[in-house]
Amino acid sequence: MTKIPVGILGATGMVGQRLVELLADHPWFEVAHLASTDRSVGRPYREACRWRLPSPTPFSVQNIPVSPLDPALAPGLVFSALPGDVAGPIEEEYAKAGHAVCTNASAHRMDGDVPLLIPEVNSGHTALIHAQRKRRGSGGFIAANANCLTAELVLALKPLSEAFGLRKVHGVTFQAVSGSGYPGVPSWDILGNIIPWIAGEEEKVEIEPLKLLGTLKGDRIEPAALTLSAQCNRVPVRDGHCACVSVGLECAATAEEAMKVLEGFRPSKEVTGLPGTPEAPILLHRDMDRPQPVLDADGGRGMAVSVGRVRPCPIFHVKFFVVGHNTVRGAAGGAIHNAELLAAQGWLGA
Amino acid sequence: MTKIPVGILGATGMVGQRLVELLADHPWFEVAHLASTDRSVGRPYREACRWRLPSPTPFSVQNIPVSPLDPALAPGLVFSALPGDVAGPIEEEYAKAGHAVCTNASAHRMDGDVPLLIPEVNSGHTALIHAQRKRRGSGGFIAANANCLTAELVLALKPLSEAFGLRKVHGVTFQAVSGSGYPGVPSWDILGNIIPWIAGEEEKVEIEPLKLLGTLKGDRIEPAALTLSAQCNRVPVRDGHCACVSVGLECAATAEEAMKVLEGFRPSKEVTGLPGTPEAPILLHRDMDRPQPVLDADGGRGMAVSVGRVRPCPIFHVKFFVVGHNTVRGAAGGAIHNAELLAAQGWLGA
Amino acid sequence: MTKIPVGILGATGMVGQRLVELLADHPWFEVAHLASTDRSVGRPYREACRWRLPSPTPFSVQNIPVSPLDPALAPGLVFSALPGDVAGPIEEEYAKAGHAVCTNASAHRMDGDVPLLIPEVNSGHTALIHAQRKRRGSGGFIAANANCLTAELVLALKPLSEAFGLRKVHGVTFQAVSGSGYPGVPSWDILGNIIPWIAGEEEKVEIEPLKLLGTLKGDRIEPAALTLSAQCNRVPVRDGHCACVSVGLECAATAEEAMKVLEGFRPSKEVTGLPGTPEAPILLHRDMDRPQPVLDADGGRGMAVSVGRVRPCPIFHVKFFVVGHNTVRGAAGGAIHNAELLAAQGWLGA
Amino acid sequence: MTKIPVGILGATGMVGQRLVELLADHPWFEVAHLASTDRSVGRPYREACRWRLPSPTPFSVQNIPVSPLDPALAPGLVFSALPGDVAGPIEEEYAKAGHAVCTNASAHRMDGDVPLLIPEVNSGHTALIHAQRKRRGSGGFIAANANCLTAELVLALKPLSEAFGLRKVHGVTFQAVSGSGYPGVPSWDILGNIIPWIAGEEEKVEIEPLKLLGTLKGDRIEPAALTLSAQCNRVPVRDGHCACVSVGLECAATAEEAMKVLEGFRPSKEVTGLPGTPEAPILLHRDMDRPQPVLDADGGRGMAVSVGRVRPCPIFHVKFFVVGHNTVRGAAGGAIHNAELLAAQGWLGA
């Protein structure tokens, strides 16, 4: 199979680098275009980008010259890792010009006709693309992945939602510094410390799950009838967002029933066939002190979420601890996973 | 005023060292006796103890020889920082022998006639001592301070309880490594990591507040009618326990009303006069990103708790973030504060 | 005694905040003026400055409005905590206008007629001020404190230099993140990591000691005849710079002889009388595992340096480990100490 | 090829776990035996061992029951990750009983007839085994890998030694917490801190390189004529030991000449063929701020060392910064690499 050429917008930042890393050996996609807003334009990627990941810069992209942001130069499929303050209009421009834009930015996540996707959770929401294409009069479209914390939270909630129904979700988060990009959080603020606030995060975590767990009705998503409360905190961890989650269900369930449902969760056949889908999207731990970000963030090559300490909650029904890789499942890996879904469903086609 | 001579049981451990430090310049108490279970007996304290606090070992105790654990050798008032697995029977022995034992250990906290005290919260609970003395037929007694996390949690809850009534409290904690004593948590387990479990902690945090916020009825405490859910986590922070707390009230209150009550909280006149009582036991923050353990754990010389991010909770009424010093307010400082209360109320007397 | 009014240039940054904190209760100086280059001008200091130190913003400065940088508005004595890229010409302007400028910036440190001062080390170098005043034709002058690491290194070297003569000094450093200012080092770069390079640092550490340990000859300093080799590294520590130092001497000395000289070191009577001079400028440790930045950086209220592990070096004569507080002794405290010396010697006078 | 069955002594500790992990997919060796001193004997490995590495416990060993330490039960080749205080006599017993013992413990490293090996450095030293066999009158023998820090230091020094001759080596280290085993360093001691001492470490680093870089003369090693000075420090890093190294050469060399030699270093053909030999044993960095433990410890799957900041030293000839993986190249991986060499040279075989 000839690989599909892809472009990366915002290729030199933290998520851009993860996209480059994860796409290096991708079976379906091939990086053909790297674009950036900054002064790096024109220089080969290996010089333009101060690479900050432990793995070396993939050989195949080292000499690709960094392009300016111009839809005319980009292949049909682009990943957007653009900064939040500029992503919105630029992505719109690419979609208008006919590109499929898989974005990690939050600008369009809640747009009525933009699918907000986690393949294991709501692969049918891609149907929104019809409305989007009609609106723009072009074949282009935007598909978004969720906020990093939301993605792992909703993946863990999905089987509980299916089996027991969700009424209330109370989440307190422990978020890694890689989630703030680069340079991100100053070391003086976080070394040996906890910061009880992340700008804009709680708002996203309280609203995005309603769309992700919502129901496609014609050309719109009816939000899930669910109340969320989020308290988001930054912790001195490099990679791996964690959350303490308490869940109120429609039909009461024991901790053991919840565990069975969580470890038994398997995605649809369509989604199982995607390269980015982990064998088991949810890794259940029964040891008291697991999961932990250092030990478990890389589970399923960073695409699985790890859940443990599932137990009864004196106030809600069950509570648990969840860990996921915030720049893989929660960002770059999630965007690629979405593109795989779009390819499998035929949205990228000629 | 002649100072009251005091002893410290378990003087060489983490909490024992904090007791020594905090008692060094105490206006009412004077360290006269240092006892330990370990091989250090007989050697001067400065050699027996591997001092691990940033402040230097107080000059006044350096040459006190470490005693064995023997009530006959100890002054009438002793502080117990004994390890949890041995504290119970040893403390009982001291009380039988007529000593007043202010303990930081958990063994007797929930005993029916042992007062579990936070002076600003329940100074009247000392009346339980009558029953205790009667039971033992000695003038001795045990008075306990709460679990480190519980102490700061309940101090923050007290004014809300008084003003609005408490129904439900949901707490997720971020606990410093000093809370596990020394050697405590191995560095491999916690460097850049989160551990979602602390042995025995959630049980204490879910039960102790019921007694602390309970009502004295004759010679027993009627527990508060309150449901708690706790999820306790270890974080790579040196000192300062934090918690994200959501509170369901009997009478609904806005965040602003809760803040007014929190910052207006002042203890009774009796408690205000104790040396360990901070000017304001609750320091309210209105900045978005405060309190933080590094910046705020030492507030009120470690005896105040700092509360911030008070805001509405979509599920409960209000939620907030609290920080307190776990080895000062939550351990050594709390035990000393209790002894001050006992002295002021005349329980230590001839 | 009426206190001397002082100004702080660059009052909102990391070192500016330390200056404000350390001057809050100063017996000789009183903060009367806070100036800044940034958008904070005009607002009261408590709003203009995002305070990042654990101690609260001193009450006395909270309402001082932040001034623009204008010599006409400033008192006669100013402390400069200006950023390195702008400090040079601005400080020159204040000196020309007649101000005494005690600077922490590096711009003028190596100027021939600018004294680079550590009171315990080279208090006589203030004589350079005569030449400086003559050059400018004003009573104003600049006096600099050394690079943060250099200051503690040279303080530890001074007694060895006096007693045995120094030939070679080989230093490898472990530098805290507060040394890079704010926002400084991104947390992604330093959490659980070591960065083997600090821009411009090794150059300063290899050259400044020659001037500090040099000899006043007429109106210039003859540099010490000494070779230094420095390797500077950033470590995940909040406050407290450390160094492993090996020293080649003119007259061989044993480790014990070196220890005697280090712990016996006392400054001149003139310097002993300054408020910022610690009782013992060098705190010698004989325990194997001391000093450590967390335990020892605050020694002598941050103005002493702690030296330990003094032992023979198979290559040089002796080697040791030194810890000092980089934003107190190594920056704000050092600048204030210099101002105290200048006041005591009469340079600030009418 | 049938794989060679191997045993691991001390299989449940930190280095034991790394051995298990690295041997899981080894092309030549197969884990057939897991032995331990502790209470875990008799239970399947997955239960006996509290696994602490991010990778999951290899499936192939999960059900192997943990054996007691008994040569009669072990295969011919055993790896020893026994604790330092018991390793010596136990290893001796296995060697007497005819086993080949590849040990990570220090007990026998400096024994006259025990080869201390780094395959790329001194593969010919295995000839010492003849003398050892003769002494014991058995086919068994002990072969040791070097101290974790020594291993990476000597690998970096080897090409410089060959090209220019070594006279003096001055090293200051930054050592990760995994080097202290488990539980190892208490978190209270190292979080945000530096500890300037590691028991017994400097002695090893100053003596072992003399044997590693020594010359085989008949049945003994003539130590290299070289003076070393080491200062060993613990830092809050998980994995990856670093060192600032200054080198005095016999024939002066420029930094550029040293870099050429370092990046051109390739082992002998015999050693190149071993599975554990990385393509380039030394990875040279020319960026100012590299290598770093977080980014570079895993270089060459943890078997390469990374060297950077090669530059002139004002006192010695050149200085540089080196990073290596302390539990792979410096421990488990080194022991396996040695066993590969022994297999390739025919020492293991019938």
pLDDT, one tens digit per residue, over D87-113 is: 999 999 999 999 999 999 999 999 999
Instruction: Say yes or no to pLDDT of D315 above 90.
Output: yes
Residue C291: list chain D partners with CB under 8 A. 196
Between C34-48, D84-98, D166-180, D298-312, the lowest mean confidence (pLDDT) is in C34-48
Please indicate, yes or no, whether residues D153 and D234 belong to a single structural domain of this protein. Answer: yes
Cα–Cα distance between C251 and C264 in angstroms, integer?
Answer: 18
Cα–Cα distance between A130 and A144 in angstroms, integer?
Answer: 15
Instruction: Say yes or no to pLDDT of D121 above 90.
Output: yes
Map chain D to HEC letters.
Answer: CCCEEEEEECCCCHHHHHHHHHHCCCCCEEEEEEECCCCCCCCEHHHHCCCCCCCCCCHHHCCCECECCCHHHCCCEEEECCCHHHHHHHHHHHHHCCCEEEECCCCCCCCCCCCEECHHHHHHHHHHHHHHHHHHCCCCEEEEECCHHHHHHHHHHHHHHHHHCEEEEEEEEEECHHHHCCCCCEHHHHCCCCECCCCCHHHHHHHHHHHHCCEEECCEEECCCCEEEEECCECCCCCCEEEEEEEEECCCCCHHHHHHHHHHCCCCHHHHCCCCCCCCCEEECCCCCCCCHHHHCCHHHHCCEEEEEEEECCCCCEEEEEEECCCHHHHHHHHHHHHHHHHHCCCCCC
- How would residue B1 be classed by pLDDT, with cut points 50, 70 and 90? low
Please indicate, yes or no, whether residues B195 and B297 belong to a single structural domain of this protein. Answer: yes
End-to-end alpha carbon distance in chain C = 15
Q: Tell me, yes or no, whether B349 lies in a domain.
A: no
Nearest by CB: C295 against B54, B191, B192:
B54
Instruction: Say yes or no to pLDDT of D283 above 70.
Output: yes
Range of the domain at D276: 148-325
Phi, psi dihedral angles at A206 (to 5 degrees): -85, -20
Q: Tell me, yes or no, whether B134 lies in a domain.
A: yes
Please indicate, yes or no, whether residues C124 and C195 belong to a single structural domain of this protein. Answer: no
Please indicate, yes or no, whether residues C57 and C91 belong to a single structural domain of this protein. Answer: yes
Map chain B to HEC letters.
Answer: CCCEEEEEECCCCHHHHHHHHHHCCCCCEEEEEEECCCCCCCCEHHHHCCCCCCCCCCHHHCCCECECCCHHHCCCEEEECCCHHHHHHHHHHHHHCCCEEEECCCCCCCCCCCCEECHHHHHHHHHHHHHHHHHHCCCCEEEEECCHHHHHHHHHHHHHHHHHCEEEEEEEEEECHHHHCCCCCEHHHHCCCCECCCCCHHHHHHHHHHHHCCEEECCEEECCCCEEEEECCECCCCCCEEEEEEEEECCCCCHHHHHHHHHHCCCCHHHHCCCCCCCCCEEECCCCCCCCHHHHCCHHHHCCEEEEEEEECCCCCEEEEEEECCCHHHHHHHHHHHHHHHHHCCCCCC
Residue B191: list chain C partners with CB under 8 A. 192
Interface test with D, best of A187, A294, A325 (most D CBs within 10 A): A294
Please indicate, yes or no, whether residues C156 and C75 belong to a single structural domain of this protein. Answer: no
Which letter, b or e, does each residue of D183-197 get, where b requires 16 or more Cβ atoms within 10 Å of its Cβ? ebbbbbbbbbbbbbb
Q: Tell me, yes or no, whether A350 lies in a domain.
A: no
pLDDT of res. A1:
67
Q: Tell me, yes or no, whether C51 lies in a domain.
A: yes
Q: How is residue C15 written in tokens?
A: 């070192």
Instruction: Say yes or no to pLDDT of B350 above 60.
Output: no
Residues of A with a known catalytic role = 148, 241
D197-213 average pLDDT score: 98
Q: Tell me, yes or no, whether B222 lies in a domain.
A: yes
B206-216 average pLDDT score: 98
The domain that contains B185 carries what CATH number? 3.30.360.10
Please indicate, yes or no, whether residues B204 and B271 belong to a single structural domain of this protein. Answer: yes
Q: Tell me, yes or no, whether D350 lies in a domain.
A: no
The domain that contains C67 carries what CATH number? 3.40.50.720
- How would residue B39 be classed by pLDDT, with cut points 50, 70 and 90? confident
Question: Which chain A residue's Cα is nearest to D57?
Answer: A295
- How would residue C1 be classed by pLDDT, with cut points 50, 70 and 90? low
Please indicate, yes or no, whether residues C94 and C158 belong to a single structural domain of this protein. Answer: no
pLDDT of res. D37:
83
Residue D185: list chain B partners with CB under 8 A. 186-187
Residue A175: list chain C partners with CB under 8 A. none
Question: Which chain B residue's Cα is nearest to D178?
Answer: B188
Question: Which chain B residue's Cα is nearest to A320?
Answer: B231
Question: β-pairing, B227-231 with C166-174?
Answer: unpaired
C97-117 average pLDDT score: 98
Nearest by CB: C54 against B52, B191, B294:
B294
B170 tagged catalytic: no
pLDDT of res. C37:
83
Please indicate, yes or no, whether residues C196 and C238 belong to a single structural domain of this protein. Answer: yes
- The predicted-structure confidence for C248-284, as pLDDT tens digits, reads as follows 999 999 999 999 999 999 999 999 999 999 999 999 9
Instruction: Say yes or no to pLDDT of A184 above 60.
Output: yes
Burial class (CB in 10 A: 0-12, 13-18, 19+), C95: buried
- The predicted-structure confidence for A17-65, as pLDDT tens digits, reads as follows 999 999 999 999 999 999 998 778 999 999 999 999 998 999 999 999 9
* Total tally of structural domains belonging to chain C: 2
Please indicate, yes or no, whether residues C219 and C288 belong to a single structural domain of this protein. Answer: yes
- How would residue C289 be classed by pLDDT, with cut points 50, 70 and 90? very high
Please indicate, yes or no, whether residues C276 and C336 belong to a single structural domain of this protein. Answer: no
Mean pLDDT of chain A: 96
pLDDT of res. A349:
74
Instruction: Say yes or no to pLDDT of D350 above 70.
Output: no
Q: Which residues of A touch D (CB under 8 A)?
A: 52-54, 191-192, 238, 294-296, 298
B209-216 average pLDDT score: 98
Q: Tell me, yes or no, whether D90 lies in a domain.
A: yes
Please indicate, yes or no, whether residues C30 and C137 belong to a single structural domain of this protein. Answer: yes
ipTM over 0.90? The verdict is yes
Please indicate, yes or no, whether residues A130 and A228 belong to a single structural domain of this protein. Answer: no
Residues 6+ apart with CB under 8 A from C221: C112, C125, C128, C211, C214, C215
- Sign of dihedral through CA atoms B272, B278, B279, B281? negative
Nearest by CB: B192 against C54, C192, C238:
C192
Instruction: Say yes or no to pLDDT of A350 above 70.
Output: no
Q: How is residue C90 written in tokens?
A: 């601005």
Q: Tell me, yes or no, whether C350 lies in a domain.
A: no
Residues 6+ apart with CB under 8 A from C69: C9, C35, C36, C37, C90
